[in-house]
Chain A
Amino acid sequence: MRAPITVLALSALVTAARPVVAQQPTDPRAQLAALKVAPLHFNPPTPKRVTLSNGVAVYLLEDHSLPLVDVEIVSKVGVAHLPDSLWGVGWQADNLMRIGGTTRLPPDSVDKLIEFYALTATISTANETSTASFSGLSKYTDQLLDLGFDLLRNPRNDTSRVRLTAAQQQESWRRRNDTPGSVLGRAWSQVLMGDHPLGRTQVTPQEIAGFTPERFRWTQQRIFCPDNLILGVSGDFTEREMLARLERLFRGWGKCPAGLRPLPPVQFTHGPKLVLVEKDVNQSNIRMGHAGGIRVGNTPEYFAAQVADFLLGGGGGFNSRLLQRVRSDSGFAYSVFSVWNADTRREDQFFAGAQVRAEKTVAAVRLMRDLVGSMATEPVTAQDVKLAQDNEVNSFVFQFENAGQIVAQQLGYAVDGLPPNWFDLYLKGIQAVTPAQVTAVSKQYLHPDQMVILVVGKPSAFDKPLTEIGPVVRLPVDSIRR
């Protein structure tokens, strides 16, 4: 991409390029201390926001460095907004849009076009938002957009492909307990969120029985319709032509039909609750957590929670408490992490997870629970907070590496209701966090004694009975409802 970039002071290093002579480098620590980092002046390009005549917002960023074009279409609604009886249909509506043909083209013709022109067409209906992305060589932009809009506007949901999807989903249901990870994820949602749509990832046989072309059509018309859409275009195109093309493609596409619901309120289970799902494996899957409490917003609390998560087991990587203690010091696990999710619309969940050798299961559960608690009781240091802040500040250029990424960022902000300059606000917010705020937010929102703790594993191989941690609820694998 061609971005307006100025890298000042680096030129000083260039002119100082040393003669090509081998010399014994000094102590690396001394070199690190002596390292002079020139300021990085970088003004990433800003996508242009245009509103089409039907009110749809489009973010455009031209980049002619490669003959590629990328169109992202985001819908502000998703499967969780459908009536409950259509959740399973909505979950697979994306697949049918891609493979089910259009009213003009049978499924095989769509497949042939996409693969012949080496186009990429990906449609995804998720719980709260949905996306479609179309990309390919820019010489095929017409084919790409004609086909992409045809898929979105006129899905055929050909019976043969509805049957195929039903068969594949039935097989996915059959295989749902084959890996410990699948068991863990599904059991976790059920225990923490009941059957709330935000926790669902698996279609049930009863839902599969309801797959019909008409029902797919009903959901598709309501998820992908102009009132809900925001577009992003990046790559090798010219703005004027692209806008004219988009106007034409939207022509005659009417209002969104009624029938969606607001997201049902989420009720997270209150702990303490200790749940065991038995599976005959030599490595236990562990997850523990509760409601996250935090919303995304320009608040000190949100930024402090971000830093707390970084230092507990998120972006801090090996220098987070969980990785340092559970992996590096103890050798209990290869994978261990924390996730403190937040959203602009509502609270989300907090959890820590790991895959641990069976014979260290109870020791690891205790250690992980203690580490969650340590965020409130063993204050993070100023150096720790600085690590998180330096990481965010110094890595900011990676958020703007190419035109597609820059456009996607703006689409994301628009869908989440965040201002276009959210990234700047975010960086400033992170930089203002103090160690005391991290401790305070942890004290307020992380409750190691009130967590739901879920273990998938083989209890006879554990180091100690799980009951040493507390009363155990057994969840048979077959009673995981979806």
Chain B
Amino acid sequence: MRLLVGLTAALAIAAPLGAQQSTPGERLPVVKYVLPNGMTFLFLRREGAPTVAFVTHFRAGGVDEWTGISGTAHLFEHMLFKGTRTIGTKNYPAELAIFPRIDAVADSLTAEFRKGDEADTSALARLRGRLRQLEDSARQYDVSNELDRILTENGAQSLNASTSNDVTNYFFALPANRAKLWFILDSDRIRNPVLREFYSERDVVMEERRLRVETSPGGLLREEFLAAAYRAHPYGRPVVGVASEIQTVSRTAAQEYFRRFYGPNNAVVAIVGDINVDTMKAWATQYFADIPAGEPHRPVVTQEPPQHGERRIDVEYDANPQVLIGYHVPEARHPDAPALAVLSQILTGGRTSRLYQRLVIKERAATNVFSGSGPGALYPRLFTFTVVPIAPHTTAELEGEIYEEIDRVQREPPSGEELQRVRNQIEASAVQRLENNFGLAFQLSNSEALWYDWRQTFRDQTGLLAVTAADVQRVARAYFDKSNRTVATLVRPAKPATGGTN
């Protein structure tokens, strides 16, 4: 039993990073370079293959949308691939001349659409046809997807973007000898974006919503769960957008979103790989310094009011059951956040965690059980359990067992071994997260965008190491209260769906 002996020895001696030590990430030779307009660059030269990863975060997310335009942060993310006044066009003035006509038809379509059941379906069809026709006529001046073509032929990798509640990011990697391309292309696209092919892209985004939410039991359940848990704060709104708003958002609204949130002072770029930092600085200045600063980012002022009593919803869908259980907890920068993260690991982090042991291994009542905090990081969020039952076990049964385990952790603190396991995992991940250029660029850029400090993401690990058993017990008592809870259960409709749209 050599292996078991090893385990006991490690229990006694394993003393990874002490709480006072800095993590390897904090010691990275990152060069921070801020232009006078507020645009922030983080440069990190790394040994290795001649590649460079570029990740840009804008402090602009779903939470920054105003009423009536949900989904615009994400739609705008799509639009930033459509080109500029020079890239993506053969004749920009000619395109521009058609835009007002297209927008006018789109506005008429929206007006008709908003009549709801009273809308004239033949008018809707006619206006849709007209919109399509006009947008097609603008295509004669387009070089569709030219940005993508330029990057593809230059060997760019992982070209993509994503929008979250708090921020939006854009990324790709280039061979090191082509790094200048990023400066040319991305300075142009945040300076002169042209929202061409806008209305057909709106349709594309609607299909993305159908794919991720409307035809996905898990996606739909999560959307309804967040809406039930948040009454006031925009974390309750789907980032992909509400269908009726995706279908009617105007080019003007998307332009307004850009104007408000895409100033260079709201952008953080991390450039990681085989680079010369002085060259990068010079190019950053040359390409971005003359873009005027935009409005500063203003945090969301709405605070989610305290919850007065448990909220329970059923979500009907023709699929097998699952349940989400969420408790309101503070934002990621709150002093209790590290203890909550450790608690999550103790309850559901891996096969030796308490809930996995009980629900999956011992009782074979669940296929899996997860927990974690979200949907964002900047504002107070939800600590959420997801559990999928194995029939004949029910979601109600699993819920009860989860509450019993919460009670237990409220009564008795976690053991030394449980905490040590979590600490060892943190130590390993502190190294693993330094493995590749892309991963590093993401972490640096995200941390600086959210917390105005690229080291914060690494410091958070030190914070986790300092968590004590008493801390874990304290936060479990503080937040895991019935009246602070929202439960969303996926159930089959009473009768099999025959008409509906799921």
Q: Is the interface of B mostly helix, strand, loop or mixed?
A: helix
A396 to B47, CA, bound (A): 18
Instruction: Report yes or no: A104 in contact with B215, Cβ–Cβ below 8 A.
Output: no
A167-B364, A331-B202 known; A401-B434 Cβ under 8 A: no
Q: Which 6 A-B pairs have the closest CB atoms?
A: A394-B155, A331-B203, A395-B155, A118-B428, A331-B200, A178-B319
Asked whether A228 is an interface residue with its Cβ less than 8 Å from the other chain, the reply is no
Instruction: Report yes or no: A113 in contact with B7, Cβ–Cβ below 8 A.
Output: yes
Q: Which residue of B lies closest to A160 (CB)?
A: B361
Interface segment among A32-40, A54-62, A80-88, A444-452: the answer is A32-40
Q: Which residue of B lies closest to A179 (CB)?
A: B216
Asked whether B3 is an interface residue with its Cβ less than 8 Å from the other chain, the reply is yes
A358 to B462, CA, bound (A): 51
Asked whether B397 is an interface residue with its Cβ less than 8 Å from the other chain, the reply is no
A163 to B363, CA, bound (A): 11
Instruction: Report yes or no: A20 in contact with B282, Cβ–Cβ below 8 A.
Output: yes
Contacting A at CB under 8 A, from B284-325, are 285-287, 289-290, 318-320
Contacting B at CB under 8 A, from A350-364, are 355-357
Q: What 1/0 mask marks residues of chain A from 311 to 328 whose CB sits below 8 Å from any chain B CB?
A: 000001111000110011
> In the complex, what's the smallest C-beta–C-beta distance from B248 to chain A, in angstroms?
15
Instruction: Report yes or no: A22 in contact with B286, Cβ–Cβ below 8 A.
Output: yes
Asked whether A424 is an interface residue with its Cβ less than 8 Å from the other chain, the reply is no
A36 to B427, CA, bound (A): 44
Contacting A at CB under 8 A, from B32-81, are 47-51, 81
A394-B155, A397-B175 known; A18-B286 Cβ under 8 A: yes
Instruction: Report yes or no: A401 in contact with B215, Cβ–Cβ below 8 A.
Output: no
CB within 8 A of B207: which of A164, A323, A355, A398?
Answer: A355
A171-B367, A334-B205, A393-B155 known; A22-B289 Cβ under 8 A: yes
Asked whether A3 is an interface residue with its Cβ less than 8 Å from the other chain, the reply is yes
Interface segment among A143-151, A215-223, A366-374: the answer is A143-151
- Report A-chain residues with C-beta under 8 Å of the C-beta of B1: 104-105
Asked whether A13 is an interface residue with its Cβ less than 8 Å from the other chain, the reply is yes
Instruction: Report yes or no: B435 in contact with A115, Cβ–Cβ below 8 A.
Output: no
> In the complex, what's the smallest C-beta–C-beta distance from B411 to chain A, in angstroms?
24
Q: Which residue of A lies closest to B207 (CB)?
A: A334
- Report A-chain residues with C-beta under 8 Å of the C-beta of B417: 116
> In the complex, what's the smallest C-beta–C-beta distance from A231 to chain B, in angstroms?
21
Instruction: Report yes or no: A386 in contact with B207, Cβ–Cβ below 8 A.
Output: no
Interface residues of B (CB under 8 A from A): 1-4, 6-7, 10-11, 47-51, 81, 84, 86-87, 136, 139, 144-145, 148-150, 152-157, 159, 173, 175-178, 180-181, 184-185, 187-188, 197, 199-208, 210-211, 214-217, 274, 276, 278-279, 281-282, 285-287, 289-290, 318-320, 349-352, 360-361, 364, 367, 388-391, 417, 420-421, 424-425, 427-429, 431-432, 434-437, 497-498, 500-502
Instruction: Report yes or no: B47 in contact with A2, Cβ–Cβ below 8 A.
Output: yes
Instruction: Report yes or no: B274 in contact with A319, Cβ–Cβ below 8 A.
Output: no
Q: Which residue of B lies closest to A36 (CB)?
A: B180
A118 to B188, CA, bound (A): 45
CB within 8 A of A334: which of B145, B148, B211, B424?
Answer: B211
Asked whether A168 is an interface residue with its Cβ less than 8 Å from the other chain, the reply is yes
Contacting B at CB under 8 A, from A308-348, are 316-319, 323-324, 327-335
> In the complex, what's the smallest C-beta–C-beta distance from A283 to chain B, in angstroms?
4
Instruction: Report yes or no: A115 in contact with B421, Cβ–Cβ below 8 A.
Output: yes
Instruction: Report yes or no: B200 in contact with A5, Cβ–Cβ below 8 A.
Output: no
- Report B-chain residues with C-beta under 8 Å of the C-beta of A147: 3
CB within 8 A of B211: which of A115, A171, A355?
Answer: A355
A7 to B491, CA, bound (A): 59
Q: What 1/0 mask marks residues of chain A from 385 to 419 whose CB sits below 8 Å from any chain B CB?
A: 01100110111111011100000000000000000
Asked whether A254 is an interface residue with its Cβ less than 8 Å from the other chain, the reply is no
A17 to B278, CA, bound (A): 7
- Report A-chain residues with C-beta under 8 Å of the C-beta of B432: 68
Q: Which residue of B lies closest to A387 (CB)?
A: B153
Interface segment among A23-31, A192-200, A206-214, A257-265: the answer is A23-31
Q: What 1/0 mask marks residues of chain A from 132 to 174 whose CB sits below 8 Å from any chain B CB?
A: 0000110000110011001000000000100110011011101
Instruction: Report yes or no: B215 in contact with A331, Cβ–Cβ below 8 A.
Output: no
- Report A-chain residues with C-beta under 8 Å of the C-beta of B187: 25
A330 to B47, CA, bound (A): 45
Instruction: Report yes or no: B497 in contact with A280, Cβ–Cβ below 8 A.
Output: yes
Instruction: Report yes or no: B50 in contact with A398, Cβ–Cβ below 8 A.
Output: no
- Report B-chain residues with C-beta under 8 Å of the C-beta of A386: 153
Asked whether A377 is an interface residue with its Cβ less than 8 Å from the other chain, the reply is no
A111 to B4, CA, bound (A): 12
11 A-B Cβ contacts within 8 A? A20-B281, A42-B49, A115-B351, A147-B3, A171-B388, A175-B320, A178-B217, A283-B211, A283-B215, A397-B176, A400-B49
Asked whether A244 is an interface residue with its Cβ less than 8 Å from the other chain, the reply is no
